[in-house]
Amino acid sequence: AQRVTQPEKLLSVFKGAPVELKCNYSYSGSPELFWYVQYSRQRLQLLLRHISRESIKGFTADLNKGETSFHLKKPFAQEEDSAMYYCALKSGGGADGLTFGKGTHLIIQP
């Protein structure tokens, strides 16, 4: 069965410090991974996907198949990065609903 693990429920860092939100997955096939974000009083929305290898709002994430990880990183945190972050894994085939981790609440302190 596929599973997504986010070991940190809460992560607090100071503005300007580096941020790393951890995500590990368990999946027997070829994984497709995503990070979703929910800012206060806003809807859950896509932040980035591993296949695009893009940087969004300064965040990047690299898929490491050897370590089955997809950690989210940003070199310099900003106060507006405070939010709930969810790592998600897409199942293969026709059913492509996402399996989400429990989420990490990121707080950026001034």
Partner 1 sequence: EAGVAQSPRYKIIEKRQSVAFWCNPISGHATLYWYQQILGQGPKLLIQFQNNGVVDDSQLPKDRFSAERLKGVDSTLKIQPAKLEDSAVYLCASSLVGGYRTGELFFGEGSRLTVL
Residue 66 engages partner 1 in binding (rule: CB under 8 A): no
Contact window for partner 1 (CB under 8 A) among 2-10, 15-23, 59-67, 68-76: 2-10
**In the set 45, 55, 78, 109, which binds partner 1 (CB under 8 A)?**
45
Query: In whole angstroms, what is the distance from residue 85 CA to residue 80 CA?
Result: 13
Query: In whole angstroms, what is the distance from residue 83 CA to residue 106 CA?
Result: 5
Residue 107 engages partner 1 in binding (rule: CB under 8 A): no
H and E: helices and strands count for the chain: 0, 11
Q: How many residues bind partner 1 (CB under 8 A)?
A: 23
